[in-house]
Structure 1
């Protein structure tokens, strides 16, 4: 990290990489502060600046304000969630979990439990578009992973949903989010250990999973 307030030097490419690295450090700092302070409500631009050893004006060069920082964190969260969900396509993971659907559900669960504050921010920050043309690419990727998980496949019977082709994915997201939220709020008997076991029953609501992974 360059000294506080010092201009980043080097080639245009090197400067761009340095700026992107600092931006990532600021976002990482915000996540760390949220973990320590039990959420993002108490985050300030000054607290983020202090964490990385920069002055507040430097932070404002990267984010117009706290909301802009939080919006970028939402995109980071959905990008990471999409990566987790994509790993469920691995045949080895599907074999272990019992199919694509339960593997996807487990990936979703593990992401939420690993960083609950970021997960909550992703789903509670006001005026973040979902289900519209303005939905971010990472959020759309997550939805596509859920839609893929409930798509008909050989050996698995699925319900017929009355509304539209996205109904099954929307309902899966709702069920997963509901279970995760109840566990995080301490509203499920048995806590996280039992909540994780309930995932198997949840996926059965959407059909009988195959015994082996598809190719």
Structure 2
């Protein structure tokens, strides 16, 4: 392996180490605890090394969010494919995708916050949208196409995404009780998929 290739590999490893440390710190103590000073201590690199990878905390949060979208796309795809056997009820597929989304938000609350709550310099719904975001949204569209009816699948997916985001956020903030989440999903799916 050439020296340049080794250095590039080490740089990529440091980059990922910083992202992973930021996620772990945010999940355990919240995003306010994620500072370049704390991260440099945690990864055992100086702050100038961190700044050689990221301009600051906002850039780190952006990288964490993009990584989160890739993970969300994978979870949604797995839920869609696992429940999408020939002859399956499209509503059941949609229900599984919705539950996977809410489970992701519940089990990765700081990551979800980086993706959907914190301001990040990531364009949504434009030509510049990162592939990870496109893929996550695409999973919604693929799950919804069979039940979208007269509505454009992308627009229908935006409405479902907004509803699920509302449920995830209200549950996380304890504005609504978590124990009724399945009932909410059933009600939402019934309303979204009824003939009309």
Decide: shared fold, TM above 0.5. yes
Asked if 1:89 corresponds to 2:80, the answer is yes
Q: Does 1:179 align with 2:171?
A: no
Using the size of structure 2 for normalisation, the TM-score is: 0.86
In structure 2, runs of 5+ residues without a counterpart are: none
Query: Partner residue of 1:212?
Result: none
- Greater share of helix: 2
CA RMSD for the aligned pairs?
A: 2.3
Deviation at 1:158, TM superposition (A): 4.8
Q: How does 1:75-154 map onto structure 2 within 5 Å?
A: 75-91=66-82, 99-126=92-119, 127-152=121-146
Q: How many residues align structurally?
A: 190
2-structure distance, mates of 1:28, 1:149: 30
Secondary structure in 2 matching 1:64: coil
2: CA distance between counterparts of 1:207 and 1:138? 27
Q: 1:98 deviation in Å? A: 6.9
Contact 2:83 2:93 in 1 (8 A): no
CA distance in 1, matches of 2:35, 2:102: 29
Which runs of 5 or more residues in structure 1 are unaligned?
1-8, 209-215
Aligned pair in 2 of structure 1 residues 57, 147: CA closer, same or farther (>3 Å)?
same
Q: Quickly say closer, same or farther: Cα 1:98–1:169, change in 2 above 3 A.
A: closer
Inter-partner Cα distance in structure 1 for 2:82 and 2:54: 40
Q: 1:160 is matched with which residue?
A: 150
The 10-residue stretch of structure 1 (70-79 or 97-106) with the greater mean CA deviation from structure 2: 97-106
